[in-house]
Structure 1
Amino acid sequence: MRVFCGIDWASDHHDVALIDGDGKLLARARIADDAAGLQQLLDLLAEYGDSPGERIPVAIETSRGLLVACLRATGRPVYAVNPMAAARYRERHTVVRKKSDHLDAMVLANILRTDADAHRQLPADSELAQAVAVLARAQQDAVWDRTQAGNKLRSHLREYFPGYLAAVQSTTGGINAPLARTLLAAAPTPAQASRLTRTQLRAVLKRAGRQRGIDAEVERLHAALRVPQMRQLPLVEKAMGRQALALLGKFEAACTAADELAEAAVELFERHPDAAIITSFPGLGALTGARVLAEIGDDRSRFTDATSLKAYAGSAPVTRASGKSHAVMARRVKNQRLAAVGYVWAFASLNASPGARAHYDRRRTVGDRHTSAQRNLYNRLLGCLHHCLTNHTPYSESTAFPAPPKLALAIAA
């Protein structure tokens, strides 16, 4: 007898429903979100035929959390069903739009019974790949937090201290540079900045890690911080300086977190067997490679062909056809993290690969905008990546971007 399990997830408890192949309810339970609840669930599954040789599949509306991790560790098929998809299935069971936790668990179990092939099973990634995913995603979140904190600080400084922004604008990294952050911490207001001596500026530069060109930079900052500018009232300016220091503290924390997480993610990524293949691609370094591995994993059965990987990444277009209407558009539903690193990868490959540059230029020539041409190039590179990972071979420029026949003949001659 085939048995299917649906779990309606919540923060402190979970509703469980088991049904047979005909959709008949076999058992239901509410378990706590702790070790005792997990054991209760495993005992319930074992009672209805769960064994190491034949695991009962489970459908749940999340791919994260301790419950999901423990269920995956048992080796059973776990399906993370999108809540929007589950809501559409719910309408097959009730037309009055009633909702309950038990009904949701039943709906999830029935999804497996009727349409398991239409939903993606959570991949059987290795422990190392899962650890890389945790660090790479956390690092990406820290970068986004750093960008947000930097934008808030820049917006605040523009209201009372535009001279500082002008002074650090030419510095590599701008406001993100260690020098810019150290200088703002030393003098958060125009009044304090204008009183900085050359000796104090030299100390700021050394504290920020500057080793060369110190004298020239001291003179430049000394002059830039004394350029006349519009000012707030003295008390208001001082208060806004205190606010700037608070925003700077958040910005510093985000910068430190991003740097430390990047180092940890790269360290784990370089221990993975796929690291050498991934970083052999033009435009992919250790950190961007870690982000790619974090999203595609190392379960080679996850993507049966390159087309499914491209759809998952959002690089492949989606076609909408109805009657005489036919439209090909960019895919909006996708893995946003993989799409984000994809644009970085495609852009970086333009200077690292002559074939990638020629492909991008060709797409621009036929009328693609910059973003569309980048997405098309990313789509091409993803196909190459799928091939290389499947066949355990490094990237080859001549295979990925073969020369046109006429050009190849000219080179041979």
Structure 2
Amino acid sequence: MSVEQIHRTRTEVIPGAPAPTAAPTAGIDWASTDHAIAVVDAHGVQTVREMVEHTTDGLARMIRVLTRTGVHEVAIERGDGPVVDALLQAGLAVFVIASNQVKNLRQRYGAAGNKDDHFDAYVLADTLRTDRRRLHPLTPDSPATVTLRMTVRARKDLVAARIAMANQLRAQLEHALPGAIKLFRDIDSAITLAFLTRFPTQAKVDWLTPKRLENWLRTQHYPHPARAEQLHTHLAAATRGTVGDQAETRAHVTAAFVTGLTALRAQIKALEEQIETQLLAHPDAVVFTSLPKAGIVRAARLLAEIGDCRGRYPTPESLTSLAGTTPSTRQSGKVKIVSFRWAVDKELRGAVMDFAGDSHHANAWAADLYRKARARGCDHPHATRILARAWLHVIWRCWQDGIAYDPTQHRALQTVLAAAA
């Protein structure tokens, strides 16, 4: 059966089954340059099949097409971006159907499962028509949350870039100047970058004595200049770096990485200042900053990824499932398989796991849960997921009520403290 035949196929109505929506529904398969639009009527017959460009005029045309055909509900594969913004501003209800679900839904309309933009748009539109009762409309977060999310994710991307460049610098120094590796705690710290700026070659490092190194450390306001003797011993014991004609060339490469890391550090710091300002002005800041070991950036990341739309997570289980802290269970007959949950919001899972992974250092209840999980044979990631699931129930309750986490009112924590007393 061809795609065109599939588009014109009328869906058989099963007696006693819930009736599909009577109004036309639309599906949009988005891309970076253009978007495929499909509209189906109440019987599943496609009435619109168009392609619009990803421009201001193109998005305006998309809204005109949907409005003209009487569409009030639209299915799409992602819940953010200019397309979704345009749909919401036009007063249309948006339903997000994940890409992996669309991949499986293709089999519903044909055995081949081929990828085609127009066909995917049709699948989205018809799935919204038939499965409306299983889907929940997208409720946008407040502008404050959207802004915070953009800043938090930008910082995360810059941190990833900094880590990657730091690894490149380390690989460079293994040849150019091995003594600089592990001289200070972090390869991309301010003091390490300052050292590499002043002493980029083995010849310049050879000029150093403990006293000269101590004097230089004082000019950098290093908090422990008395460690100069120990640091000089490290430099002297390390494998010698490149000397001769190649030394200056390698020094130029080192300088390039140092300049890049310096710029990344500055931009990350600037974003962190914005994050603090945006977080403290947010109405839900009190909830997330009250969590143990949350700090500013971690609290902001949790708030940004959970959002402030309470209706999105009507139960704590809906939150734990999307965060990937609950296992995926498959059962057939007497066989039951429990496995890692892959279909999750990866940004949300990253934020939750980052918080949970550090919380057991500052909370007796969290430490007890983590310790018991490890005692049962769970590895660190598994134990952290168990702890994250427990924390999400606590966070969900505080978030729903708009109150700070209060250790004195946390019954499970108080039980652990009483047992330890």
TM-score range with shorter-chain normalisation? 0.7 to 0.9
Specify the code of the residue in structure 2 equivalent to 1:126: S
> What's 1:43 paired with?
64
Asked whether the equivalents of residues 283 and 346 of structure 1 are also in contact (C-alpha less than 8 Å), the reply is no
Q: What letter is aligned with 2:118?
A: H
- Please say if residues 24 and 69 of structure 2, whose CA atoms lie closer than 8 Å, have aligned partners that are also in contact: yes
* Equivalent residue for 1:29, pick from 46, 50, 58: 50
C-alpha separation in 2, matches of 1:372 and 1:141: 25
The amino acid across from 1:295 in the alignment is E
After the TM superposition, which residues 3-402 of structure 1 pair with which residues of structure 2 at under 5 Å, given as runs? 3-49=24-70, 56-97=72-113, 99-119=115-135, 121-168=137-184, 171=185, 174-196=186-208, 201=213, 205=217, 208=220, 210=221, 212-214=223-225, 216-227=226-237, 229-402=239-412
**CA distance in 2 between partners of 1:241 and 1:409 (Å):** 60
Contact kept? 2:25, 2:129, Cα under 8 Å:
yes
| Aligned CA-pair RMSD | 2.7
After alignment, is 318-327 or 245-254 more displaced?
Answer: 245-254
2:36 & 2:152 partners in 1: Cα distance?
Answer: 32
- In 2, distance between residues paired with 1:318 and 1:118? 19
One-letter code aligned to 1:38: L
Against the structure 1 CA distance between its residues 245 and 14, is the aligned structure 2 distance closer, same or farther, given a 3 Å change threshold?
A: same
The 2-side partners of 1:406 and 1:245 are apart by 53
- The Cα shift of 1:305 comes to 0.4
Q: 1:68 to 1:181 in 2, by over 3 A?
A: same
The percent identity for this pair of structures is 29
CA distance 1:219–1:323, shift in 2 (3 Å):
same
The Cα of 1:83 is off from its aligned counterpart by 2.5
TM-score, with normalisation over the residues of structure 1?
A: 0.87
Q: 2: CA distance between counterparts of 1:202 and 1:405?
A: 52
**Residues 221-262 of structure 1: CA distance to partner in whole angstroms, max 9, x if unpaired?**
455434463343522333222222222222223222222222
Deviations 1:91-114 (A, max 9, x none): 333345555432222111112112
Cα deviation, residue 189, structure 1: 1.6
Q: Give CA deviations for 1:122-146 in whole Å, capped at 9, x if unaligned.
A: 3321000000110111111111111
SS across alignment from 1:2: coil
Contact 1:8 1:15 in 2 (8 A): yes
Partner of 1:53: none
- Closer, same or farther in 2 for the Cα pair 1:301/1:188, shift >3 Å? same
Separation in 2, partners of 1:239, 1:159? 12
Structure 1 window deviating more from structure 2 (199-208 vs 157-166): it is: 199-208
Provide the C-alpha distance between the structure 1 equivalents of 2:47 and 2:170, rounded to a whole number of angstroms: 60
Superimposed CA distance per residue, residues 42-91 of structure 1 (whole angstroms, 9 cap, x where no aligned partner): 222222235xxxxx111223333322222223342222332332232223
Return the alpha-carbon distance in structure 2 between the equivalents of residues 300 and 406 of structure 1: 30
Q: Which amino acid aligns with 1:287?
A: V
State how far apart, in whole Å, the 1-side matches of 2:192 and 2:250 are: 18
Question: Contact conserved, 1:182 with 1:207, CA < 8 A, in 2?
Answer: no
Could you tell me how far apart the structure 2 residues matched to 1:16 and 1:244 are? 51
CA contact (8 A) 2:364 2:417 kept: no
Q: Which runs of 5+ in 1 are unaligned?
A: 51-55
Q: Distance in 2 between matches of 1:131 and 1:117?
A: 31
**Distance change >3 Å, CA 327–CA 194, structure 1 → 2:** same
Number of matched pairs: 400
Cα distance in 1, alignment partners of residues 275 and 419 from structure 2: 45
Checking the alignment, whether the CA contact within 8 Å between 1:160 and 1:240 is kept in structure 2 is yes
Contact 2:25–2:126 (Cα < 8 Å) also in 1: yes
Quick check: 21-30 or 402-411, which moved more?
Answer: 402-411
Unmatched segments (≥5 aa) in structure 2: 1-21
Deviation at 1:34, TM superposition (A): 1.7
**Deviates most, 277-286 or 99-108:** 99-108
CA distance in 2 between partners of 1:255 and 1:344 (Å): 21
Residue 148 to residue 319, structure 1, CA distance change in 2 (3 Å): same
Q: In 2, distance between residues paired with 1:100 and 1:330?
A: 30
Kindly state the Cα deviation for residue 187 of structure 1 after the two structures are TM-superposed.
Answer: 1.6
